[in-house]
Amino acid sequence: MSAVLALGAVTACGSPTPETGAVRTGPGVSTESISLGVLTDMTGPFKGTSVLRIRGYELYLDQVNKRGGVCGRRIELKQKDHAYDVQKALDAYFELEPQVLGFMDVTGQPMTAAIEPDLVQTRALTVPSSWAASLLGNPHMMIVGTTYDLDVINGLDFYKRQGALNTGDTIGHLHLRGSFGDNALEGTRFVGENWQMKVSEQAVTEATANLTEQMTALKAAGAKVLVLSLTPPQTAAAVGIAAQLGWTVPILSSAVSYDPAMMQSPVAPVFAKQVLLTSPVAPWSADAEGVRQLRDSYQARWPGEPGSLNTVHGFTVAMAYVAVLEKACEKRDLTRDGVLRAFHDTSALNTSGLTGQLRFSLVGRPSATQSYMSRPDGGVPGTLKVEENLYESDLVKLKGTRAR
């Protein structure tokens, strides 16, 4: 079986193409195509990761379309760049919304927050490029993988098992104000409460350019491990400041805070030595079956072009979204309500190691609870080397029990 066919088989439902007239349809669905929106940042602080994530969407959808699409309809993307500006995002959203069945990507916490109220009215299934736990309560949001707090708990558990953290130690956390940073901080606080550790916190906004004051304060607090929940440029700046301060503390960061271009910068050696990245999806160099097949197909489509963890993320999101559309097709209902019903009925979706097994049927709960741990390494494809495969801390299980 070829790599393309193997990947296509992961979620293919094998349903016969229904009679066009027998399928109920909604916005963005014609007799020939299904249109999905991508509202992303192509020219702002997340442009590096956005481009690579979109490559993942394109690759998976190409494979789906080659095998006949969904319900005999080709899936196409309608894309808008908001440059990480809320007003531009709103303008683009209201332009795209009538043209699409749902959104495969809305990038940026402020943008997601701005459009979220309207989703209650439009009922368009939307994938935010975010793993914020606050979005779990919205039945129109598809969160593919763990949430930020669970990723941080799994990452700090790794450091505890490595002996970098002990009872009574202080964890430093420099975070963005907003759903990303605040949710990540919840994970650090939960660790502190349950493992009798202190937490020293510093908060910034996306506009904060100089992080020296915050980093100096965290070092003075005696933090044994530093957690960073920032934009990619801020993460690079913070790691550089740590080097300037002579602070060799282990650093934990989320995948959204990392850009492969960092390994071409002056701070690359510090990243390689001190930083651990925790993520819901596998890095590009992972040995999981799904990632191996993805790499082969990607290189066949774009020879010599490097992929990244963000490419894996995009591919996984597309796989999950298509699985929902296929389930809706089985019910012959491609309206927005039909897609939402299919979404809430989707469980035990196997991605062959791209992420943990996905389950969207548990309302208010993350679709997965395991995280990958990776080290920046400029010598491996995608610049991330797996340090530990999918892992779930006992604290994550405890947090889930308390949430019920």
Q: What is the pLDDT of residues 28-74, one digit of tens each?
A: 999 999 999 999 999 888 787 888 899 999 999 999 999 999 999 99
Is the same domain home to 253 and 158?
yes
* Number of domains present in the structure of the chain: 2
Nearest residue to 278 via CA among 184, 172, 403, 183? 184
Residue 198's CB is within 10 A of a number of other CB atoms, namely 14
CB-CB contact of 329 with 18 (8 Å): yes
CB-CB contact of 33 with 106 (8 Å): no
Distance CA 168, CA 198 (A): 7
Is the same domain home to 140 and 156?
no
Is the same domain home to 328 and 225?
no
Strand 384-391 to 371-376 pairing: antiparallel
Residue 1: band (very low, low, confident or very high) from pLDDT cuts 50, 70, 90: very low
191: alpha, beta or left, given left = phi > 0 and alpha = psi -120 to 50?
alpha
DSSP letter (8 states) at residue 176 = E
Is the same domain home to 65 and 125?
yes
CB-CB contact of 196 with 224 (8 Å): no
32: alpha, beta or left, given left = phi > 0 and alpha = psi -120 to 50?
alpha
Is the same domain home to 124 and 254?
no
Residue 21: band (very low, low, confident or very high) from pLDDT cuts 50, 70, 90: low
Residue 403: band (very low, low, confident or very high) from pLDDT cuts 50, 70, 90: low
Distance CA 152, CA 172 (A): 12
Q: Which residue has the higher pLDDT, 260 or 329?
A: 329
Range of the domain at 294: 3-146+284-367
Distance CA 381, CA 201 (A): 34
* Residue 161 phi, psi (nearest 5): -70, -25
Is the same domain home to 288 and 363?
yes
Q: Can you read off the two tokens belonging to residue 371?
A: 């995280």
Distance CA 140, CA 143 (A): 10
Is the same domain home to 66 and 13?
yes
Is the same domain home to 50 and 109?
yes
Is the same domain home to 232 and 327?
no
pLDDT tens track for 295-314? 999 999 999 988 999 999 99
CB-CB contact of 282 with 312 (8 Å): yes
What does the CA dihedral 20, 24, 29, 33 come to, rounded to 10 degrees?
-30
| pTM of the shown model | 0.87
Is the same domain home to 46 and 99?
yes
167 three-state secondary structure: coil
Is the same domain home to 247 and 294?
no
Is the same domain home to 303 and 203?
no
* Beta strands in 215-268, from DSSP E residues, in sequence order: 223-229, 251-254
Q: Using CA of residue 85, residue 91, residue 93, residue 99, what is the dihedral sign?
A: negative
- CATH code for position 240: 3.40.50.2300
